[in-house]
Every structure is written in structure tokens, then in C-alpha cells.
């Protein structure tokens, strides 16, 4: 399983391109991160991978075959999307929400059958939500909700999951619960492409990091080579320092002078 973009560009109608000649790839068993400032094109890039937006130039290849050659249904059986947030007007049970992932397998006029229910059960077990299956999605924690959307992707049969800032509003514990599951699933062969604001999370979990800036690739490679103070400073237009702890753990610290923070407090 390999999902790749070659020299991908995308422009919204009557606008300058917001993604320019981006090449990036993710393979089965791998977690790849896309980092970059707000508006750098992360979400649009994921939308091109999801087939929701058609690139204006360049191609997206799924196992060497152009993504456009897949029907929406065939594509959905291979690529799953985990939304950043989800404003449900009405809330489903966890089980039913995960069951929506069976849409590519269920005919227009039919309902999920035995096989679909089994797939949902397997997906719930894989992310550790089996005990919450009947709980309403509005009564589970943010982290559990993200896990449910990941399970929905698994129920889709997707071997590649696109995560758009999956832990943007999760506390550290929940963030790491979600990524522990992601790492476990990657170990079982799934591919993850994660758009994120957190370089530190990428340091912990990513096999590969791509920095986007103004829609172009600023840097890409293993996290230790790409998440450097130099690249971070350029990506986010502010100073950073990488601090290494006694156990080799790394932290990304913004360099802000004391008097600046005090002004902010005042």
C-alpha cells in the first residue's frame, strides 16, 4: 500500500495556487506527518489525497494507479478520512457512527448486514472502544470520538487513513491515547498521513515529516533531520530552540524574551 503525490498543485477557482508542486508519499506501516503554519495548505493537501478536491496539476497515485481512476466507492474502500472536528446536528451511537464506514459496501437501497456488523465490531475492538459501542457520540470524550472516527476508517477497510489535526483540541493524555492506537495500527500495516500543528507529536510518532510553507515543501525527511530550530523558525516565522532531555527526549521551545511574555500578561 503506497499513497503518493507527484508534483501536486491545487488552486481554488480564480485564486493563486495554494499548493505548488508538492511531492509526498506514505507507505503501509508508516506514520507520516505534514506540518506547517495555518494556511500553509495542509488541509487542502489532505483533501486532494481524499479525492475531495481534484488537483489542478500533478497526480495522486494509489499503489501506482492514478487516484482518479478509482470510483468514489473503490477509493473509499482504500482511503479513510478522520475529520478534525465534527459538528453533528444529531448524535448517533458510537456503533452506528462507526457503521457509516460501511457506506462503500452497502447498496443504495439496503442496510448493513451481518458482515458489515462484524467489520464494525472488529474496528471497535481494534481501537479499544468495544465497551462504549452503545454510548452516544455526544457523551464520549474528545479522544474517544477521534478513536471512533479512526474506527470508521477501519470499518471502511481503508489501508490508508488521513488525519486532519486529529488531536488539535485534546489534552496531552488523550492525545497520546489516540496516537498509541495509531502507532499500533501502523504496526499492523496501515498507513497514516497526519496533518498537525504539533512538531513535538511528530518527534514522538512520525517516521517521516514534511513541512509545508505557502503551499510548497519547505523540508522533508525523518523527524530528527527536519524538526530543527532552523526549519521550525522558517515554517512558523518565529524563533525556536530544540531542547534535549537527559533521556534523549526532545522538546520544541519557542524563544520568546521574558519582557515580551510579561507584556502579554499585562
Partner 1 sequence: MMPPSRRRSSVVLYALPVVLAFAALFFGRYGGSVSEAFRSLFSSGGSDLLRSLIFHVRLPRTLAALVVGADLGAAGAVLQGLFRNPLVDSRILGVSSGASFGACLAILVSGGALAVQTSAFVFALIAVAVVLAVGWRLGATPLALLLVGVAVSAFFDALLGLVKYVADPLSKLPAITYWLLGGLSGTQESNLAPLLILSGIGLAFLVLVRWRLNVLTLGDEEAASLGVRVRPLRVAVVLAASLLVATSVSQAGMIGWIGLVVPHVARAWVGSDHVHLIPASAALGGAILVVLDTIARTVLPSEIPLGILTGLLGVPAFLVLLVVYVRTQGGTR
By the criterion CB under 8 A, which residues form the site for partner 1?
A: 47, 50-52, 71-77, 79-81, 83, 86-93, 95-96, 99-101, 103-104, 106, 108-112, 117, 134, 138, 156
Instruction: Give min distance, CB of 50 to partner 1, in A.
Output: 5
Instruction: Give min distance, CB of 64 to partner 1, in A.
Output: 21
What are residue 252's DSSP bridge partners?
242
Choose among 30, 24, 10, 13: nearest CA to 187: 30
Q: State which residue, 92 or 242, has the beta carbon closest to partner 1.
A: 92
Q: State which residue, 102 or 227, has the beta carbon closest to partner 1.
A: 102
SS3 content of the chain, % helix, strand, coil (to 5): 40, 25, 35
Q: State which residue, 109 or 260, has the beta carbon closest to partner 1.
A: 109
Q: State which residue, 76 or 202, has the beta carbon closest to partner 1.
A: 76
Instruction: Give min distance, CB of 91 to partner 1, in A.
Output: 6
Rounded Cα distance, 101 and 152, in Å:
5
What are residue 80's DSSP bridge partners?
161
Instruction: Give min distance, CB of 52 to partner 1, in A.
Output: 5
Rounded Cα distance, 167 and 171, in Å:
8
Instruction: Give min distance, CB of 136 to partner 1, in A.
Output: 9
Rounded Cα distance, 242 and 266, in Å:
28
- Asked whether 40 and 219 are in contact (CB, 8 A), the reply is no
Q: State which residue, 155 or 185, has the beta carbon closest to partner 1.
A: 155
Cβ neighbours around 240 below 10 Å, total: 20
Amino acid at each position: 500500500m503506497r499513497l503518493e503525490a507527484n508534483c501536486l498543485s491545487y488552486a481554488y477557482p480564480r485564486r493563486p495556487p495554494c499548493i505548488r508542486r508538492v511531492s509526498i508519499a506514505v507507505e503501509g506501516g508508516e506514520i507520516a506527518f505534514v506540518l506547517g503554519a495555518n494556511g500553509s495548505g495542509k488541509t487542502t493537501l489532505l483533501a486532494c489525497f481524499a479525492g475531495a478536491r481534484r488537483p489542478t496539476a500533478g497526480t495522486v497515485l494509489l499503489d501506482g494507479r492514478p487516484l482518479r481512476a478509482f470510483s468514489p466507492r473503490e477509493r473509499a474502500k482504500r482511503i479513510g478520512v478522520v475529520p478534525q472536528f465534527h459538528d453533528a446536528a444529531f448524535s448517533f451511537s458510537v456503533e452506528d457512527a462507526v457503521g457509516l464506514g460501511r457506506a462503500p459496501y452497502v447498496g443504495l437501497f439496503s442496510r448493513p448486514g451481518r458482515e458489515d456488523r462484524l467489520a464494525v465490531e472488529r474496528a471497535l475492538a481494534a481501537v479499544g472502544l468495544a465497551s462504549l459501542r452503545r454510548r452516544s457520540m455526544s457523551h464520549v470524550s474528545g479522544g474517544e470520538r477521534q478513536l471512533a472516527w479512526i474506527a470508521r476508517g477501519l470499518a471502511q477497510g481503508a489501508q490508508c487513513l488521513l488525519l486532519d489535526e486529529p488531536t488539535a483540541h485534546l489534552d496531552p493524555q488523550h492525545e497520546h491515547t489516540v496516537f498509541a492506537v495509531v502507532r499500533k495500527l501502523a504496526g499492523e500495516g496501515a498507513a497514516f498521513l497526519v496533518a498537525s500543528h504539533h512538531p513535538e507529536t511528530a518527534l514522538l510518532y512520525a517516521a517521516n515529516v514534511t513541512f509545508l510553507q505557502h503551499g510548497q515543501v519547505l523540508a522533508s525527511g525523518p523527524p530528527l533531520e527536519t524538526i530543527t530550530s532552523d526549519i521550525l523558525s522558517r515554517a512558523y516565522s518565529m524563533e525556536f530552540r530544540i531542547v534535549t532531555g537527559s533521556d534523549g527526549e526532545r522538546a520544541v521551545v519557542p524563544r520568546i524574551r521574558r519582557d515580551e511574555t510579561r507584556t502579554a500578561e499585562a
